[in-house]
Amino acid sequence: MADSTAVSPHSVVPVHEDRPVYVIGGGPGGLATARALRARGVRAVVLERSDHVGASWRHRYDRLHLHTTRRLSALPGLPIPRSFGRWVSRDDMVRYLERYAEHHQLEIVTGVEVSRVEPAPDGTGWLLHATGGRRLTGSAVVVATGYNHTPRLPDWPGLDTYTGEFLHAGEYRNAGPYAGRDVLVVGVGNTGAEIAVDLVAGGASRVRLSVRTPPHIVRRSTAGWAAQYTGVLVRRLPVRLVDRLAGPMAKLSVPDLSAYGLPRPGTGLYSRVNEGAIPVQDVGLIEAVRKGRVEIVPAVEGFEGGKVVHAGGSRTEPEVVIAATGYVRALEGLVGHLDVLDAHGRPVAHGARTPHTAPGLHFTGFTNPISGMLRELGRDAEKIAKAVARRVERTRTAH
């Protein structure tokens, strides 16, 4: 059943009460944007498809901690409590998001999924089609459904014949069910690397990690200096310059794992970031690989019965395969008809900017910046709110 946290009518002066700004998604980006809009006197209604805010955080694996610092991960208007530690846990992040919504008295409606956004029939604002036959008209729309929306699985031949246990990383919670078992983790992003380490600690009999493209690996913190701080400092620098600087630093801080099947990448660190590959922050992978507890194997090419076929023709026969193969944004059904997505399904405009074909339609949280997703979501929220408030004011003045 949907519930709503009402906004006090005495705390803000809403503009266009009959047409609020609809924020689709009750994760960090959606909540931060709703708060920023409310602070500018614009009524914002968050529509969340699940029963709670922060749904994606609630369903991640148990050992998950932020790879960004507490101080640089807080959303505008409320610090993350110091008691949560420097690297905030999954459960504490959920608590923080709940507290954030309550503290700012955000108007949130849960249990409502928006399936399609289109221009309003009268030519002003946007019409949202939602569950239960709802048709909602807003003055503007902010899509904040998240970077990790729908699990992505490669089209592996023979997967339907695999006789072992198979799951996407989004379904993984902890190593308990895999103790004493032979597990193959496919994908060496931060999620795959951390799950592999978790499996080792949890007593899996054998853990292999399938790698297609060797990642850049960085220390989460060196002598108290968080990797995120460097990301913030270099974000605006030329890509080639950052690539040149990162190479020698990596050789100093991270051992060469080539002998273990994990050579240093041939492409620069920041170039890879621009391609969508954030560096892997080491939370035990380096040690596990060097001690042989995590074995590196080639990319998965397909399945044959109970076996996994790897690049080069080698085969393994794990009891369990965990696909840490990422997510897709899944925006096509929602806004694909509006000519606002690129060939990869990503929004052509982000933050305060809106597509020229869709003024008043904003997107947040669909990039993966080197400086930290949460930090940039907060900054985007303020920019979006400023742009929306300016547009609403112009509309009110015109009428």
In order of start, what are the domains of the chain with their CATH numbers? Answer: 21-149+329-398 (3.50.50.60), 151-323 (3.50.50.60)
Give residue-wise pLDDT tens across range 313-365.
Answer: 999 999 999 999 998 889 999 999 999 999 989 999 999 999 999 999 999 99
Q: Confirm if 114 and 130 have CB atoms less than 8 A apart.
A: yes
User: pTM for the whole thing?
Assistant: 0.89
What is the three-class DSSP state of 232? Answer: helix
Burial class (CB within 10 angstroms; exposed 0-12, middle 13-18, buried 19+) of 279: buried
- What is the SS3 string spanning 323-349? ECCCEECCCHHHHHHHCCECCCCCECC
Answer whether 148's CB lies under 8 Å from 44's CB: no
Confidence at residue 222, expressed as pLDDT on a 0 to 100 scale:
85
d(CA 362, CA 355) in angstroms, rounded, equals 8
Mean pLDDT by 10 residues, the chain (399 residues): 36 52 97 97 96 92 94 97 97 98 97 96 93 94 89 94 95 97 96 97 98 93 88 91 89 93 92 87 96 98 95 96 92 96 93 94 92 94 95 70
Q: How far apart are CA 222 and CA 208, in angstroms?
A: 27
